[in-house]
Structure 1
Amino acid sequence: MIGLREVVLIQELKRQGLSISAIARQTGLDRKTVKKYLANGLEAPSYSPRKPVKNAVEPYRTHLLERLESYPGLSARRLHREIREMGFKGAYSSLTEYLREVRPPVPKAYERRFETAAGIQAQVDFAEFQTIFTSEPGVVRKVWLFSMVLGHSRWLWGRFCPNQGLETVMRCHIAAFEAMGGCCKEILYDRMKTAVIGEDAAGVVTYNASLVALLAHYGSAPKACQPYRAKTKGKVERPFRYIRQDFFLGRSFRDPDDLNAQFGTWCADIANARQHATTGRIVQEHFEQEQPHLLPLPGMRYDTVLTVERRI
């Protein structure tokens, strides 16, 4: 394609007496092109509109719209995996651009980020989920996800539990420490009732004595988030949304054991195998570098009788 400037140059060279072949050599254009624009005079070139390029995602439009209608929070990564299994060969970016047309982006508020050194801190919380197990059709079950995230590498461990009781919390801590092969120097909690008993006027926090004893056995100590500042524990809060969108939505589970089995596979193959958006590192590889900085596990497993403390 040439513009009006090139058309004027062709006309000027012709006025100077150059032949069509000489004009073609001097402008780098084909002789037929030069001849065409000499015949048209100084008329500006016009071009027919380009044929629309077929979007590689379009054949999967029905599937995507149906999935988003049923589960609006499904992540683009999850949908990308689904349509790849259906034969999609396009780039992930093609899908994200397409999804932006289907659902508007959620505005993100500015957040100040707090980073921690290797082996210093892990963050713990519970999130509520509801599901219907295929072994109990029509019965809605409520389950709680205990999640522990290493603050440095973002390595994730979790377990779906039937309750948030103290015994459940303590058993999950033990299993998480054993899974990561060590323990952090402190564990951050969002004022969980099983972790934080209360706080006096001076701001001194009282922790559950049984949990303190367990953490002491592993060389660790509890730390509570500041009141109304749960975002200081965002490394766990955000993974809950990620887990809900990328793992939980659109799946079926036979029973609690199947739920945890699927979740364990997802953690290993997807969550901890991904490149983390904030750190830019592969989570598992980052964890392997952090792991030597963890406090080593004690010689004996914590086996004190677990008792549930009641508040009266």
Structure 2
Amino acid sequence: MIKNGEHFMIKEMHEKGMSITQIATELGRDRKTIRSWLQENETKKYQRQMTIRPCLLESFKGYVKRRMEEGCLNAVVLFDEIKAQGYAGKTTMLRHFMSPLRPTVISQATERYETPPGQQAQVDWGLFKVKWNGTYKRLYAFVMVLGYSRMLYVEFTENERLDTLMGCHLRAMQYFGGRTRTCLYDNMKTVVSGQDEQGEVVWNERFAKFANHHGFVLRRCRPYRARTKGKVESGVKYVRKNFWPRVQTFTDLHDLNLQARAWMDKTANVRIHATTHEVPQERWLREELQPFNLTRFEAVYRHERKVSSDCLVSYNAHRYSVPHRYVGYTVEVEDQNNGLIRIYTGEIILAEHVKALGRHQVVANKTHFVGIRTTGSSKAATPMPLLVPKAIPEVVTRDLSVYDIFSEEVMTS
């Protein structure tokens, strides 16, 4: 392609009397090219040939818009979803599309306080709503974050009561494999009862005994400075923005917690954390957690029930099965308020069931009925009356001479 400057030079050289061959030799061009340009009165404008390629995101835009209208504004979550549907592009294209559609979020900065390994865990609740039979139902997410490694534990519950809180602590310590030296809270009523005349915190007596039993010290964040527990606040936000949008359906609270456990193991605790720039699960290996008390603290109230002859135990208008050999026993029902029911005799777990929904449901484990003896597999005979023949009267045996006497008497008479 001859540039505009060369076109003027060719014109000028030709006007000075140079032949086409001389001009082509001088400029190193083909004679046909020189001749063609000499025939042009105006300089040709350069036009770049544009190849229009179909947008990789085009077929997924409707889905992305719908999910954003549902409240999912996290590009990473949506990228995972459309990638599973066949999207071959990158997150850059997706973010560019989402940018004008998402509301502007302004976050306030605060000074970050880093803790050494094994020093502190932070705890908070998150409120979530679900649509249940045409109405909205509240669920509560217990979130614990280890301060050093940023390992996260989340469990959804029916309420925020003290028994529920202590049960969640125990299961979190089991998940982490230990406990930190301190645990930080805000002014939640199940933990903080108030403050004394000197302004010192007054802890809930039962929860303080629970903490002492397992060996960790209670700490309260500064009043009106809830962001001093920013690690767990960020954890609650992360659950809300990254896990919650992934949940499209769940059958019950237990199913929701199974999805949360899979998300913790496959996403939350194996990602590169934005603050530490390390994987929480890898930093957890350096967390230096202390062992908690394996002796059970009576954190959850147990309800005594008697096992009926059909191997079932009644609780909250539902019935749950136990092994048949415990028929007639008095057992204890423990409601963990996280979608599970456990039935004990002493410290032995007889049964664990997913908590029933609605009313008057029977939740049974078929193995609990294996081995029950029966009288036989055939049907019992239909009762029928017994035909007893009438008894034959006894006949007196006499000698024949007696009958001869009777006949003589008849003849003489």
TM-score range, shorter chain: 0.7 to 0.9
Cα separation, partners in 2 of 1:21 and 1:177, compared to 1, 3 Å: farther
Aligned to 1:232: 228
Match of 1:302 among 296, 307, 315: 296
Q: Deviations over 1:161-215 (max 9, x none)?
A: 1111111111111111111111111101011111111123533111112222222
> Quick one: structure 1 residues 216 and 38, their matched pair in 2 at CA, closer, same or farther if it must change by over 3 Å?
farther
Amino acid at match of 1:173: H
Q: Contact 1:194–1:208 (CA<8 Å) still a contact in 2?
A: yes
Aligned counterpart, 1:47: 47
2:286 counterpart letter in structure 1: Q
Q: Secondary structure at the match of 2:127?
A: strand
CA deviations 1:113-167 (Å, max 9, x no partner) are: 222221111110111112135xxx3343221111101111111112111111111
TM-score (norm 1): 0.81
Distance (whole Å) between structure 1 residues aligned to residue 220 and residue 32 of structure 2: 79
Matches within 5 A, 1:51-70: 51-69=51-69
For 1:287, the equivalent position in structure 2 comes to 284
Q: CA deviation at 1:242?
A: 2.1
Mapped to 1, the partners of 2:32 and 2:103 lie a distance apart of 49
Where structure 2 has 5 or more consecutive residues not aligned to the other structure, the ranges are 302-413
Q: Output one character per residue of 1:54-87: Cα deviation in whole Å (capped at 9) or x when no partner.
A: 4321220111111112x23342121111111111
SS at match of 1:173: helix
Distance 2:101 2:31 in 1: 48
| Cα distance between partner residues in 1 of 2:34 and 2:225 | 71
If each structure's helix is expressed as a fraction of its own residues, which one has the higher value? 1
Which residue does 1:114 correspond to in 2? 113
The structural deviation recorded for 1:223 is 0.7
1:270 maps onto 2:267 in alignment: yes
In the alignment, what sits opposite 2:140? 144
TM-score (norm 2): 0.62
Taking the aligned partners of 1:200 and 1:38, their CA distance within structure 2 comes to 100
Residue 93 of structure 1 pairs with residue 87 of structure 2: no
Alignment partner of 1:211 is 2:207: yes
Structure 1 residues 44 and 237, CA, compared in 2 at 3 Å: closer, same or farther?
A: farther
Displacement of 1:294? 1.1
Correspondence 1:244 to 2:240: yes
Does 2:210 align with 1:223?
Answer: no
Is the contact between residue 7 and residue 37 of structure 1 (CA under 8 Å) also seen in structure 2? Answer: no
- 1:288 aligned partner, one-letter code: L
Given candidates 184, 195, 200, the residue that maps to 2:191 is 195
SS of match in other structure, 2:285: helix
Give me the whole-angstrom Cα distance separating, in 2, the residues matched to 1:42 and 1:282: 65
Counterpart-to-counterpart distance in 2, 1:233 and 1:202: 24
Amino acid at match of 1:128: L
Structure with the greater alpha carbon radius of gyration: 2
Larger relative strand fraction: 2
In 2, Cα distance between equivalents of 1:41 and 1:283? 71
Q: Separation in 2 of the partners of 1:89 and 1:22? A: 52
Distance 1:34 1:104 in 2: 60
CA deviations 1:21-68 (Å, max 9, x no partner) are 66469xxxx999999888879959543574555432122011111111
SS at match of 1:130: strand
Query: CA 1:65 to 1:36, structure 2 compared with 1: closer, same or farther past 3 Å?
Result: farther
Query: Does 2:260 correspond to 1:259?
Result: no
Change (3 A) 1:53 1:235: farther
Q: What SS is found at the alignment partner of 2:194?
A: strand
Q: What's the secondary structure of 1:101's corresponding residue?
A: coil
Residue 102 of structure 1 aligns to a residue in which SS?
coil
Say which SS state the counterpart of residue 159 (structure 2) adopts. Answer: coil
Cα distance in 1, alignment partners of residues 219 and 36 from structure 2? 80
Please state how far the C-alpha of 1:88 moved relative to its aligned partner: 0.4
Q: 1:176 aligns with which of 159, 172, 180?
A: 172
Q: Deviations over 1:260-284 (max 9, x none)?
A: 1111111111211222122221222
Letter in 2 for 1:296: P
Where 1:289 maps in the other structure, the secondary structure is coil
Distance verdict in 2 for CA 1:212–1:64, change over 3 Å: same
Residues 209-237 of structure 1, C-alpha deviation per residue, up to 9 Å, x if partnerless? 22222222332111111111111112111
For 1:297, the aligned partner's letter is F
Q: Distance in 1 between matches of 2:145 and 2:254?
A: 22
Which one-letter code corresponds to 1:283 in the other structure? P
SS in 2 for 1:66: helix
